[in-house]
């Protein structure tokens, strides 16, 4: 049984519906830090194995959680565990800033950028472009049913970036009015597919059909080292509305051929020509 303070972090992770893979990976790393503050020796090593299983179960779709649990190995030394968790957090923060710098160079004055859902990495790109003095406008979907887009709107309003919100059903209509598209990712599979908030695939299709370049912003720890798209478990969270059961897969799969490039802290990955 994990300590109550660690269980509380896990419950917070399970309850989170707005912030995505980067946030949950950071919270997971904080759970390891808390565990190292409370246990040592064999108890710590055993608890790390249990914590890793629980973190993976928070959201099996997210590669960030998989890579986190493989970055921090079972150990009886609390200082080692804490140092590894802190290193993961530091590397992820540095990666997000570097992606912001790289991605912001893709934005030109006058661009109209469409995005879907809430990505802290995409937000970092917008912040960096704003600091560089670039003038642009954002079209963002409300991203139902959890409305992550409204959370992004609040952040954009804080930093003074112009935006307008559309319903998800208008993705196709507004994609052709855009000049550029950015989305985040919860998983990039071994075969190059992008798994992100459901609706990303539709946006990618609309952008492809209208010649709008779509870029994915993702830290390298969101790349799954082993699994292909068909092997990833896509989480579904059903809900009821007006007494009707609504199917609600949280993610969809976008083939790499519809993506202009994947922006990582190591540079921009482009799809092979045969795709």
85: in domain: yes
CATH for 62: 1.20.120.420
pLDDT at residue 25, as a whole number: 97
Same domain, 92 and 225: no
Q: Is the pTM of this model over 0.85?
A: yes
Q: Is it the case that residue 6 has pLDDT exceeding 80?
A: yes
274: in domain: no
Same domain, 260 and 151: yes
Q: How many domains does the chain have?
A: 2
- Three-class SS state of 194: strand
Question: Which of the residues 40, 77, 186, 191 is marked catalytic?
Answer: 186
Does residue 5 carry a catalytic annotation? no
Average pLDDT of span 245-252: 97
Q: Residue 52: which domain range? A: 4-96
Tell me the per-residue pLDDT of 176-217, one tens digit each, with 9 for 90 and over.
Answer: 999 999 999 999 999 999 999 999 999 999 999 999 999 999
Same domain, 87 and 109: no
Same domain, 64 and 105: no
Say which residues have a Cβ less than 8 Å from residue 88's Cβ, sequence separation at least 6. 25, 29, 68, 71, 72, 221
| 95 CB neighbour count, 10 Å cutoff | 21
> Which residue among 38, 68, 96 closes a domain?
96
> Which residue among 80, 96, 112 closes a domain?
96
- Three-class SS state of 132: coil
CA 215/CA 17 separation, integer angstroms: 23
Same domain, 173 and 246: yes
Same domain, 50 and 150: no
Same domain, 11 and 74: yes
Tell me the per-residue pLDDT of 47-95, one tens digit each, with 9 for 90 and over.
Answer: 999 999 999 999 999 999 999 999 999 999 999 999 999 999 999 999 9
Same domain, 35 and 136: no
Same domain, 204 and 73: no
Same domain, 106 and 41: no
Same domain, 108 and 193: yes
Helix, strand, coil share of the chain (percent; to 5): 50, 20, 35
Same domain, 147 and 243: yes
């Amino acid at each position: 049984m994990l300590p109550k303070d660690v269980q509380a972090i896990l419950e917070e992770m399970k309850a989170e519906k707005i912030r995505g893979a980067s946030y949950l990976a950071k919270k997971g790393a904080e759970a390891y830090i808390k565990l190292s503050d409370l246990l040592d020796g064999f108890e710590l090593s055993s608890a790390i194995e249990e914590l890793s299983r629980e973190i993976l179960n928070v959201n099996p779709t997210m590669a960030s959680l998989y890579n986190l649990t493989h970055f921090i190995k079972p150990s009886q030394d609390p200082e080692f565990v804490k140092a590894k968790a802190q290193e993961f957090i530091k590397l992820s923060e540095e990666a997000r800033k570097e992606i912001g710098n790289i991605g912001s160079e893709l934005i030109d004055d006058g661009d109209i950028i469409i995005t879907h859902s809430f990505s802290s990495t995409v937000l970092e790109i917008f912040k960096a472009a704003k600091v560089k003095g670039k003038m642009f406008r954002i079209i963002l979907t409300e991203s139902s049913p959890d409305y992550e887009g409204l959370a992004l709107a609040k952040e954009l309003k804080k930093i003074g970036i112009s935006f307008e919100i559309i319903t998800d059903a208008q993705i196709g209509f507004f994609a052709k009015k855009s000049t550029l598209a950015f989305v985040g990712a919860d998983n990039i599979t071994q075969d190059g597919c992008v798994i992100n908030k459901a609706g990303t695939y539709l946006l990618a299709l609309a952008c492809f059909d209208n010649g709008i370049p779509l870029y994915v912003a993702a830290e390298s720890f969101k790349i799954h080292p082993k699994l292909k798209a068909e092997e990833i478990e896509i989480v579904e969270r059903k809900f009821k509305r007006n007494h009707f059961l609504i199917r609600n897969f949280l993610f969809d799969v976008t083939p790499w051929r519809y993506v202009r490039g994947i922006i990582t802290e190591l540079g921009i990955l482009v799809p092979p020509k045969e795709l």
